[in-house]
Structures are given as structure tokens and as C-alpha cells.
Amino acid sequence: MNLKKLNDSQKAAVEAVDTPVLIFAGAGSGKTRVLTYKISYLIKENIVKPEEILAVTFTNKAAGVMKQRVSDLLKGNVQNINIGTFHSICAKILRNEIRHLGFTKNYAIYDASDQISLIKVIMAENNLTKNNVMPKTVRNKISSYKSQLINPKAALKFANNIQDKIIVDIYKSYNSSLKENNAVDFDDLLNFPLEIFNNHPRILGKYQKLWKYILVDEYQDTNKAQFLLVKMLAEKHRNICVVGDDDQSIYAWRGADIRNILDFEKDFPECETFTLENNYRSTNQILQAAQSVVRNNLDRVDKDLLSVNGEGDLIGVIETHDEMEEADAVINALQKEIKMKKRTFNDFSILYRTNSQSRALEDSFRRNAIPYKIIGGTRFYERKEVKDVLGYLRLIVNKDDTISLRRVINFPPRGIGLKTVDKCYIQSVKDNKKLFEVLNNPEPMKIRGKQGDSLLAFYKLINKYNQLLSNLNASELARALVEEVGILKFFKDQDNLEDNERYDNVLELLNSIDEYMDRVPGASISDFLEEVSLLTDIDEWNHDENYVTMMTVHASKGLEFPVVFLTGLEDGLFPLSIALNEKDIMEEERRLFYVALTRSQEMVYLLYATDRRRSGSDSWGGIASRFIKEIPEEFMESISFSSAITRKLVKTETGAIKMKLKRTITTFDDFKVGDSVEHSIFGEGKIMALSGSGENQRVGVAFKDGLKKKLIVKFAKLKKIS
């Protein structure tokens, strides 16, 4: 196989076989290239067969990229290679083996909202709803226990107060309810294969024999369950290759353990270790700045990354007064980048430490008519109307799924309220039956008339489509169901903008099932539901669409952009205040900052505010993040900015001093239809329509490239050119 496109370190890592391999791959050093070349090398050199390879990563997008690159290298079909996320690989194992734990293969996968719904039901049944424990808190605590492989019995030892003991009791009931619903959560997907392997060595042996070579991407992000799973599967042949970067370990809060990569040589003492230090993504200015910060961490492997892209521009540092001025500064710098360097909107990413920081940025972007998309907002498959349809499909596949049953039993409205559902539940407990089964006979529950008829009709509907599962493909079944239930008609009849959008979303869901069937011929509804359940925020990001991307630094992991704006760089916000006196948390915050800087290919802007409003308070006196101070001055330049905001101190009714902010207002009544104008982003255009006056004046502009925009004049900064 031709390995000439690899540098010496990459080539050596690819050719190392018949031994455990540890690859420290610095940011932008070509780790995906190494992994894909190694897979191709193993196959082309006849070291292992394609079906004997297991390659694991953390996102569907990364898995998709890996599959495509391997396919390109091998010039053919790679269907036999098992490339997927930890969760998808484990789901595949469980479809075959979960019967050993008392579940059926048609189990449902509960996402966070499903988990919270189940917890709410449990809390209501145990009269805990008036307790101060929040369902979301319970869900997060249970997930934390599971990620550390702590069962309810063991969790009781860590319960130091009444609230913790209540959560452990809920945890016990939660696990039992999941089993009754024939459902698993995301943590179970990882933990259950371990339980099966530990209790059934024969089954473990089957998968050890099947996968003779194991490759793991982003190994620094593995938690305890993932580490043990990989270790168990690799124990027989010890042909394992892990790739990662300890400097990019940023998920301790969800159970990731940096020691997994740092201690790999202890677990596999015969391993060969390689370090990739050529950076192909960022300029040297960015790279040196990032390294100068992360080198302040103690728990790391020393690396000396060098960019192949030249020195590049200095990092821009902008001090602003508050979050509004910070947003204006981002817009100003973005407009200059577009004008001077002919960039497009999808060249930019705006990163922040917490989701709440997006509000001021969004306001500014909307005022300036700049398209943007937030990664980490409500994903398509989490929208209510979409989840409702998915709820029907899940219930049809798994009639034990009471969370889905509760969700759809009265959608569209058929006169079955929550009190009726509660009656059904009480009857199911009394008769020792599944909740779905009692719907067939409303009489014992004294549910009569229209309600009784509706219950029986719902029961027959779900049974009917359950029986059709083997006769119809996923697309046919979903479309028939939506039509018979009248979901599209329901939204169409509402005749308002919001419901029109929901109508379109249901159609888009049906289209997505069609596309899935084209991609995976012969797939079942269960297969589609599994894929949807395992999607992440980043899987919905599309770089080909022309908009500015906004997201948290955590969400940006694995991505790259020509220009990155890193906002909110004040001590207490980034790094978080909780990190200021905790070494391990501070080191993770520093790694997070390193990840943020190394998302950029060409230019980075660092922004901080001296008087940011946070957490409902009027202001938050801020000082520049210590991470900025850890960057040598030679890599940065200060950029002055002042927005059109006037500020004055005023007394409130209570006598407190408060800052009052006001945007400068200008009259713009000198525009008329036919004027030629220039916009800093959209270029030259002609005013085609005009309405309002003063600060409310709006214009309709037809730009030269055919783009038509409605703009508020006071924010658009239009310049007359004739």
C-alpha cells in the first residue's frame, strides 16, 4: 500500500502491527488520516479480514467520515468493516444478546427527555412531586452513578443526606421501570454489554474472536465502561490501536477519565507509542498560543506541535464593556473579515463557555440580518411534533413502552386525559398486566362512552400496526400511520404559523425515513429509531450551508473553521468560578481553552467584558481570563472597539446605583426607492421598497447577486453610492 502521503511519524504508526499501539495525536495532526490509512493497510496487507476490524469513535459524523475515507482508499465496499460510535456498536451487541438480561431485542432507547418523563412518573407514584428534588437533577445523578458503574445498592453508600437517599430510591425504581418498559438509557447501552460479558464468558469469547483488531478514536474521552469494554474485547489478541490527545480531554463532567490514555502503557506494557506533532490545521501563531496555555497543566504528555501553514496573523484581543458591546464587536470584526478577505458566513464560528451567553449574540445577529445557527439548540428529532410521531412508532415496535404510550395516547386529541391514563395504570397494577393490555377492556375501570371507545380504538390501532411491522417497510408504515391517525390534518386544520411549521416538520420526518430506506434498503422501523436515538448535536451540523455557527466550546470538539471568535473570557466564566480553587477542574478548563483555540485555521479573536450581566444580576464585574494572560504578548494584538451605546449611572427607586444603557439613535429618512446602496456584507444593491420613518424605517433591497433582504435601516449601516 502506498503510504507516501504520510509523514514519518504517521507512517510508522500505520505500519506498527501485532502489538498494542498508542498514538498521541496533537490538535490538527492528522489522526483521522492515520486511523483510516491503518484500517486500509490492515486489509490490503492481508493482516486481517475487513469483518475482523472494529473501529470506534464518539460521533456519527466522525464515523461517517472514517467510513468514507476508508472506502476511498480501498476503492470499494466497506460494509463488512464495523465502524461506529461506542453507543451504536453496543446497541448492535445488545440487539443480539440483551435477552440474557431479560429484555427483548425490540427494546426502546430513552433519551434525556424520556428519562425525565419516566422519573416524573416514578416521583408522582411515590408522592415525591412536592419534594425539592428536581427530576432533571435526579436524571443527572443517576447518569453519573451509571457512568461510574455504581448500582443502586452501591450508590446508597455515597448518600450523605436525605436528598441523596431519595435519589437512590428513585434510581432503584427507575431501573425496574426501564425493564418493565423494555427500555434502556444511554448509560445502559454501554454498561449492559459489560454485564453480559462478565456473566457469560462464552459470549465475550464470540466477540473477541470476531474482532481481531480494534481501533479507538478520541481515547482520552473514554469513561470507565468504555475503557473496560475495549480492554475486554482486546484481551485475547491484544491487537489494539488507540488514538487521542490528553490535551483535549474535556469531558470529565460526564465520566471521561484522562488516566485511561495516560496509563495505557500500564494496561498494555508491550505497546509501541507514537507522537504526531505536525499540525495541518492552524497557523503557528495560534498553535504556539494554545500550547503556551496548556503547558501550564501538570497531568499531560509533553508535545511540541509545529504548524506546516506558516506564521499567520496575530490573535486579536478585544476588551468590551458588556455582553451587548461584545456582540457588536463580533459583528464589526466579522464584517471586516468578509469585506477584506472575501469570506462567507460559514467561515465563522462563535464559541462560548455556557449556552446562556448566546442571547446577546443572537440579538445582534438578528439586528444585522446575519444568518446563524446554534448547535445545541432544539434538535430536529427533539421537536415536540417529531417526537410525537416517533412515540407512535416506538410504541408500535415495543408495546411495553409506557412513556411513549403516555405521550401519544391523546395526540391528536381523542378525549383521553391524564386521569383516564391514571385509572388505566391502577388497573394494570391490580391485574398484574402491562399498561397497554388493559386498554382493551375499559369496563372494569368504569371508563365508558366516548372515552371507552377512544381507548379501545387506540388499542386496536397500535395492535394493527404492530402486526404490519413484518409486511410493510419503515417508510410505508410511517406514512400509513400518520395518514390514519390524522396528524398532518390536525396541524393543517389549526391554520396558524406555528402549526404550519409543525406540519412541515412531520413531512420532513417522513422524508427522513424515505432517505434512510434509500440508504439502508430492507431496514426496519427499529433500525431507524435506533439511528435517530443515537444522533448528537453535531450530527445535524452542515458546513455546506452558509450561516455563522454558534456553539459551546464542548460542542466544537472535532470541528474546524477559518475564523473563531471566543467570547466571555473572564475569570469566573472561562475558567468557571468552580475551577479557581480546584486543580483538576482548572486543568480541564485549560484544556477546554486549548480546544477552542485549535478549532481555528487562520484567525482567532478573544473577547471579554468588564461589566457583564449574568445570572439575573444587573452586572458582573469582570477581569480578563487568566488564560489570556498565559499567552505571551508576542502572539497577540489589542483591537480597540467602542459601540454606539451611551451609558450613564442612575439611581433606582431603592437608592442603588445602576448603569443605564442606550443605543445611539440616528434619523435615516434620506433614503428613497431607487437609491443604490452598499452593505458591508451583502455588497451593492438597489432599494426597491421603503416603509416607516426615523428609527423604524425599513427598506427592501435587491442585491446584485439576486439576494433580496428586508433591513431595519438603523442597524443595517447602508451607505448611499449614488
What distances in angstroms separate CA 33 from CA 17, 276, 480, 594, one per listed residue? 17, 11, 44, 22
List 226, 248, 427, 697, catalytic entry: 248
Q: Which of 374, 383, 372 is nearest to 503 (CA)?
A: 383
Sheet arrangement for strand 561-566: 372-374, 548-552, 348-352, 561-566, 600-609, 315-320, 636-638
Q: Grid cell 452513578 — which residue?
A: 145
C-alpha cell at 312: 499567520
If one counts every other C-beta atom within 10 angstroms of the C-beta of residue 654, the result is 6
> Residue 264: how many CA atoms within 13 Å on its side-chain side?
28
Among positive and negative, which fits the CA dihedral 397, 401, 405, 407? negative
247 is catalytic: no
Mapped to the 3 state alphabet, what secondary structure does 25-70 carry? ECCCCCHHHHHHHHHHHHHHCCCCCHHHEEEEECCHHHHHHHHHHH
**145: which residues sit within 8 A by CB, 6+ positions away?**
151, 152, 155, 171
Residue 240 contacts residue 268 (beta carbons within 8 Å): yes
634 is catalytic: no
492 is catalytic: no
Whole-number Å distance between alpha carbons of 318 and 223: 37
501 is catalytic: no
Enumerate the β-bridge partners of residue 621: 611
Residue 280 contacts residue 30 (beta carbons within 8 Å): yes
599 is catalytic: yes
Q: Which of 331, 347, 296 is nearest to 599 (CA)?
A: 347
List 15, 32, 195, 299, catalytic entry: 32
248 is catalytic: yes
Q: Which of 687, 644, 90 is nearest to 98 (CA)?
A: 90
DSSP state of 630: T
Whole-number Å distance between alpha carbons of 44 and 438: 58
Whole-number Å distance between alpha carbons of 591 and 584: 11
List 217, 257, 347, 400, catalytic entry: 217
Give the amino acid at 518.
D
Read off φ and ψ for residue 718, nearest 5 degrees.
-75, 145
If one counts every other C-beta atom within 10 angstroms of the C-beta of residue 391, the result is 21
Among positive and negative, which fits the CA dihedral 662, 667, 672, 674? negative
List 31, 300, 353, 394, catalytic entry: 31
Query: What is the signed CA dihedral for 190, 195, 196, 200, rounded to 10 degrees?
Result: 150
List 146, 300, 599, 614, catalytic entry: 599
For the chain, helix, strand, coil in percent to 5 are 50, 15, 35
List 52, 97, 187, 218, catalytic entry: 218
C-alpha cell at 603: 484567525
Question: Mind telling me the catalytic residues?
Answer: 31-32, 217-218, 248, 599
